[in-house]
Amino acid sequence: MSIQRRIVGPFNRVEGDLEVQLDIHDSRVQAARVSASLYRGFEEMLPGRPAEDALVVVPRVCGICSVAQSIAAATALRWLAGMEPARNGQLAECLTAACENLADHLTHFYLFFMPDFARPAYAGRPWYPAVAARFRALHGEAANDCLPARAAFMHMMGILAGKWPHTLSLRPGGSSRPLAPADLLQTLALLRDFRRFLESRLFGDRLETVAQLASVADLERWRGQGGGDLRGFLAVAEDLGLDRIGRATDTFLSYGAYAGPDGRLWPAGFWQDGRVRPLEVEAISEDVSHAWLDGGPLPPSLGQTHPNADKAAAYTWCKAPRYGDAVVETGALARQMVAGHPLVRAWVAERGASVTARVLARMLELAIVVPVMETWLRAVEPGAPWCVEAGLPADGEAVGLTEAARGSLGHWLTVRQGRIARYQIVAPTTWNFSPRDSAGTPGALEQALAGMAVPDGDLTVVQHVVRSFDPCMACTVH
Amino acid sequence: MTETFYEVMRRQGITRRSFIKFCSLTAASLGLAPSFVPRIAHAMESKPRTPVIWLHGLECTCCSESFIRSAHPLAKDVVLSMLSLDYDDTLMAAAGHQAEAIIAEIKQKYKGNYILAVEGNPPLNEDGMFCIHGGRPFVEVLKETAADAKAVIAWGACASWGCVQAAKPNPTRATPIDKVISGKPIIKVPGCPPIAEVMTGVVTYMLTFDKIPELDRQGRPKMFYGQRIHDKCYRRPHFDAGQFVEAWDDEAARKGYCLYKMGCKGPTTYNACSTTRWNGGVSFPIQSGHGCIGCSEDGFWDKGSFYDRVTGINSFGVEANADQVGAAAAGVVGAAVVAHAAVSAIKRGRMDQTNGNK
């Protein structure tokens, strides 16, 4: 009985470079190794630069989640200076972050995830003709719906922040861009258009109705009541059993999202064994035993990055972050588990995490956040301060935690004599696509793939699982 | 028979009317007279489609992200249809070996007749291990794919200059693509990322006129990189009047004064941000109250703090005499223009030679 080794990659329709190596025996995945094949060395080039320059360099870790990177850096500098940002600045930050995160959720669903179901392999399924016409990569009609709606929505970035990707307006003290009443109106109008797109094409229902679905029974009832792309996905998911594949450790991490003037919209926390606990930042460490890097497991506050391309046991550039000993999953599903969304909690309690659960959590966030953005916009007081000034101390340590679309993002910073002495980044996909640690425990995706059935060696299902995490490989290794 | 651009568009469901509109839009965005519209239309109806291979090296995908949000949905759709992005990691449908096979097929079928667009750059340290593409160092894939290309587009600061991953100490030896590709015309479209409309503009020009746009001495299309941000900045009058922002969100900031003292690199940066602007012409960094960081300039990442003031430019405030100012400025600009023109002429000569040798 032989074990067949297959490599899936280079992966398309993900951000950055990714390969997955599978050991297959008897039409079942025995072991998976996830390899991030791109390394740039941000943690090596940031030391020596003025602390404030992190605001310009770090967003360039990723062209897709650059605002999240900006916010993590600004939050770390804020912590360093011991300052409270201006209220309007906090609202601007929330709005900018939400714009990026929601656009990412939309891109993932329409351009990256759904086109897999338009593959000829599914030609015999009852839903195939409709799904293929709508989602075929590049040529499906859904891309023509989604791209203009997304581009129009992102005009908001222009108004709020000047330029995206690689926005500059987000500061430790708030935002460099004061909004006038006319700007607020224009933004509100863009938000209305986006809401209309979501309600007519994606949900076929009001956002509030979708956001308030509270149980699996609610969802089942709702499914039978109309059209829209989410209902289309749910039908595909049911037919293919996507709710039964892709389960990782069912241990979830969230740093808490959208820190506005009245606290966070969703709280920080750690979910394990069926309950949520307070986040303990000290529990986080990074292991490099299977990465092309030298060093031992260290907390990010003392983290090191020393590449060693010849390391024998290694198979990726990605470090292995752990929460205590736990392998955790992060992302929209984790955020909603920690925040306690009733439908998400009920779904996972019943069936565990899965491809379906991850997609559903992302779509719920679209429905929840757009109305909240409207309230943030109304809370802005144009005449009040947008940014406060505070000098940065010459020496200190700081942590900046935030939630990117794909999950928990943390920056750990040490400053000496006004210059960066250490800068360590732990990104969402670093958690999800982590390699094995020194105990040999595989990362979240590796565990999700192990044990999967791959009848006739068809790896399409593997692709669904990989994409369900919405990986961002540029962030992962940086 | 290879399809023409027009046939490809019609197949994509684009109407004749939209096609003509697109031709007008193209002429306008390239700064051409309306008389060019029929010429563009004729070119597109008669020329076979040029395939484009889009490769990703060491990068962050910001260029792709910018590209897919080009302001005119029509222009973007049409350009996407024309390109068909025969090979693009981020968007295409195929995966794995199937995807590799597409590159091989285009290379063979359209030998010497496809455009290679490169986002990101190759790292050369550790035999290219820092960026592996289908099991091979990216630099090998890049050189091979470039070898049979008609021309190469260097998207963004990464491909053009190296960008932040080449920042000291440049751990991976990230290297701009013109250092590893030789004998091919390379069009640099720098910026981090480049403006969407600049990207679609360059591609459209090359596809419609079947030639590369006129380049400056650094290899950038003159039509988009001919002027400094400072020259067309809407805050320029405040610079000339000596009215400056001194601190974030101060009174002067609310009034939209000049950001020079906050470290703005607009005076030394050639790009179209202050005219074309971002996110559908809505705004650009200076309009968001933050100085320009000069992201389209070579080495912008290693020129001291982004918040340091640009030195060595002739700034003048309310105290200066307008006559003195005018004379000094004219002298400097005159000399620069002459030098610029001379080098461009040499570069053009070289380009023709390259094409002729093929």
Both structure tokens of A41: 């060395």
Q: Is A385 on the interface with B (CB under 8 A)?
A: yes
Which of these CATH numbers, 1.20.1250.20, 3.40.50.150, 3.40.50.700, 3.10.129.10, describes B5-225? 3.40.50.700
First-to-last C-alpha distance (Å) of chain B: 24
* Coil/strand/helix, residue B137: strand
HEC secondary structure over B209-239: HCCCCCECCCCCEHHHHCCEHHHHCCCHHHH
* Record: contact B307-A53, CB cut-off 8 A: yes
CA angle A472, A473, A474 (to 5 degrees): 95
Identify the closest residue of chain B to A471 by CA–CA distance.
B90
Lookup: tokens for B6: 């027009």
Q: CA angle, corner B189, sides to B184 and B193, nearest 5?
A: 140
Q: In this predicted model, what pLDDT tens digit does every residue of A308-327 receive, in sequence order?
A: 999 998 999 999 999 999 99
**Chain A closest-CA separation from residue B333 CA (Å):** 30
How would you classify the pairing of strands B52-56 and B87-88? Answer: parallel
Chain B residues lying within 8 Å of A419, measured CB to CB: none
Above 70 in pLDDT, residue A331? yes
**Residue of B235, B290, B302 for testing the chain A interface, max A β-carbons within 10 Å:** B290
User: What does the alpha-carbon distance between residue A16 and residue A14 come to, in Å, rounded to a whole number?
Assistant: 6
Show Cβ contacts of residue B230 under 8 Å, excluding neighbours closer than 6 positions: B236, B239, B266, B267, B268, B269, B274
**From the candidates A57, A88, A163, A167, which should be mutated to test the interface with B, based on the most B CB atoms within 10 A?**
A163
Q: What is the pLDDT of residue B345?
A: 40
Is B34's Cβ below 8 Å from some Cβ in A? Answer: no
- B window 95-124, beta carbon within 8 A of A: 95-96, 99-100, 123
Confidence of residue B32 (pLDDT cuts 50, 70, 90): confident
**B336: enclosing H helix or E strand:** helix B322-357
Distance from CA of A286 to the nearest CA of B (A): 20
Please name the residues between 356 and 375 in chain A that touch chain B, using a CB distance below 8 Å.
Answer: none
Query: Per the omega criterion (within 30 degrees of 0), is the bond before A297 cis?
Result: no
CA distances (Å), origin B20, targets A442, B2, B24, B122: 56, 22, 6, 40
Rounded (5°) CA angle B327-B328-B334 = 90
Average pLDDT of the segment spanning A189-204: 97
- pLDDT value at position B306? 95
Task: List CB contacts (< 8 A) between A55 and chain B.
Answer: 306
Residue A335 and residue A365 in contact, taking contact as beta carbons nearer than 8 Å: yes
Q: Which amino acid is at B328?
A: A
Contact state of A162 with B92 under an 8 Å Cβ cutoff: no
B248 to A176: CB separation less than 8 angstroms, yes or no: yes
Share of chain A above pLDDT 90, in %: 86
pLDDT tens, position by position, B278-311: 987 889 999 999 999 999 999 999 999 999 998 8
Give residue-wise pLDDT tens across range A5-62: 888 876 766 666 788 999 999 999 999 999 998 999 999 999 999 999 999 999 999 9
In chain A, pLDDT over 70 holds for what percent of residues? 98
Q: Which CATH class is domain B229-320?
A: few secondary structures
What type of residue sits at position B50? Answer: T
Tens-place pLDDT, residues B310-340: 887 665 544 444 444 444 444 444 333 433 4
Q: Do A162 and B174 touch (CB under 8 A)?
A: no
Predicted confidence at residue A137, as pLDDT, reads 67
pLDDT at A270: 98
Q: For residue B209, what pLDDT is reported?
A: 80
3-state secondary structure chain A: CCCEEEEECCCCCCECCEEEEEEEECCEEEEEEEEECECCCHHHHCCCCEHHHHHHHHHHHCCCCHHHHHHHHHHHHHHHHCCCCCHHHHHHHHHHHHHHHHHHHHHHHHHHHHHHHHCHHHCCCCCHHHHHHHHCCCCCHHHHHHHHHHHHHCHHHHHHHCCCCCCCCEECCEECCCCCHHHHHHHHHHHHHHHHHHHHHHHCCCHHHHHCCCCHHHHHHHHCCCCCHHHHHHHHHHHHCHHHCCCCCCCEEECCEEEECCEEEECCEEEECCEEECCCHHHEEEECCCECEECCCECHHHCCCEECCCCCCCCECCCEEEECCECCEECHHHHHHHHCCHHHHHHHHHHCCCHHHHHHHHHHHHHHHHHHHHHHHHHCCCCCCCECCCCCCCCEEEEEEEEECCEEEEEEEEEECCEEEEEEEECHHHHHCCCCCCCCCCCHHHHHHCCCECHHHCCHHHHHHHHHCCCEHHHHHC
Whether residue B170 lies within 8 A of chain A, CB to CB, comes out as yes
Cβ contacts of A11 on chain B, cutoff 8 Å: 95-96
**Rounded to whole angstroms, how far apart are CA atoms A298 and A148?**
45
Contact at 8 Å (CB) between B131 and B67?
no
Global confidence as pTM: 0.91
Contact A13 B92 (CB under 8 A): yes
Percentage, residues of chain B above pLDDT 90:
47
Strands B114-119 and B149-155: parallel
Q: pLDDT class for A140, splitting at 50, 70, 90?
A: confident
For A:101-130, CB contacts with B below 8 A are 111, 115, 118-119
Options 1.20.1440.230, 3.40.50.1970, 1.10.645.10, 1.10.150.120; which CATH number does A4-477 get? 1.10.645.10
* CA-based nearest residue to A363, from A187, A223, A165, A252: A223
A66/B62 touch (CB, cutoff 8 Å), yes or no: yes
pLDDT of residue A59: 96
Q: Determine, for residues B73 and A7 on separate chains, whether the beta-carbon distance falls below 8 Å.
A: no
Chain centroid to Cα A435, Å, comes to 18
Which residue of A43, A56, A57 to mutate against B (max B Cβ within 10 Å)? Answer: A56
Q: Across residues A106-112, what is the average pLDDT?
A: 91
Q: What is the pLDDT of residue B320?
A: 44
- Tell me the nearest-neighbour CA distance from B338 into chain A, angstroms: 34
- Name the pLDDT band for A144 (thresholds 50, 70, 90): confident
Cβ-based contacts of B84 with chain A (< 8 Å):
138
Most A CBs within 10 Å, among B131, B175, B248, to test the A interface: B248
Strand (E) or helix (H) holding B81? helix B73-83
Tell me the C-alpha distance between A96 and A73, whole Å. 15
Mean pLDDT of A188-216: 98
| Nearest Cα to Cα of residue A23 among A315, A244, A309 | A315
3-state secondary structure of B152: strand
Cβ-count burial B101-111 (b if 16+ within 10 Å, e if not) = ebbeebbeebe
Average pLDDT of chain A is: 95
Q: Are strands A329-330 and A396-404 parallel, antiparallel or unpaired?
A: unpaired
Q: Is the dihedral of CA B292, B295, B297, B301 positive or negative?
A: positive
Report how far Cα A124 is from the mean position of its chain's Cα atoms. 33
Q: What pLDDT band is residue A190 in, cutting at 50, 70 and 90?
A: very high
What is the three-class DSSP state of B9?
helix
Look at residue B334 in the predicted model and tell me its pLDDT: 39
Under 8 Å between Cβ of A157 and A100: yes
Q: What sign does the dihedral B52-B53-B58-B62 (CA atoms) show? A: positive
Which residues of chain B from 318 to 357 reach within 8 Å of chain A, CB to CB? none
- Which of A8, A62, A138 lies nearest to residue B60, judging by beta carbons? A62
The Cα of B278 is separated from the nearest Cα of chain A by a number of Å equal to: 6
Task: State the pLDDT confidence band at B133, using cuts at 50, 70 and 90.
Answer: confident
Q: Which residues of B touch A427 (CB under 8 A)?
A: none
Decide if A21 touches B, using CB distance below 8 A. Answer: no
For B38-89, write each residue's pLDDT tens digit: 888 888 888 877 788 888 899 988 888 888 776 555 555 656 655 555 555 5
Write out pLDDT tens, residues A224-276: 999 999 999 999 999 999 999 999 999 999 999 999 999 999 999 999 999 99
**Tokens 């003195």 identify what position?**
B324
Candidates B65, B126, B249; nearest CB to A165 = B65
Residue-wise pLDDT tens digits, B189-236: 999 999 988 988 888 888 778 889 999 999 999 999 999 999 999 999
Write the residue in B62, B70, B131 that is nearest to A38 by C-beta: B131
- Cα B163 to Cα A167: distance, rounded to the nearest angstrom: 16
| Helix or strand holding residue B56 (H, E) | strand B52-56
List chain B domain ranges. 5-225, 229-320
Interface contact B91, partner A, CB < 8 A: yes
- Looking at residue B21, what is its pLDDT? 82
- B128-148 exposure pattern, b = at least 16 Cβ within 10 A, e = fewer: bbbbbbbeebbbebbeebbeb
pLDDT digits (tens, 9 = 90+) for B146-163: 999 999 999 999 999 999
Q: Which residues does residue A471 pair with via DSSP β-bridges, in sequence order?
A: none
pLDDT of residue A366: 98
Stretch A142-171: mean pLDDT, rounded? 90
Partners of B288 on chain A (C-beta within 8 Å) are 160-163, 167-169, 176-177
**pLDDT reading at A394 higher than 50:** yes
Query: Please, what's the b/e burial string for A226-256 (b: 16 or more CB within 10 A of its CB; e: otherwise)?
Result: eebbbbbbbbbbeebebbebbbbbbbbbbbb
Q: What is the pLDDT of residue B328?
A: 44
The minimum CA-CA distance between A378 and chain B, rounded to whole Å, is: 20
Are the C-beta atoms of B11 and B3 separated by less than 8 Å? yes
- Higher pLDDT, residue B133 or A172: A172
Cα separation, A429 vs B226, in Å, equals 40
How much is the mean pLDDT over chain B? 81
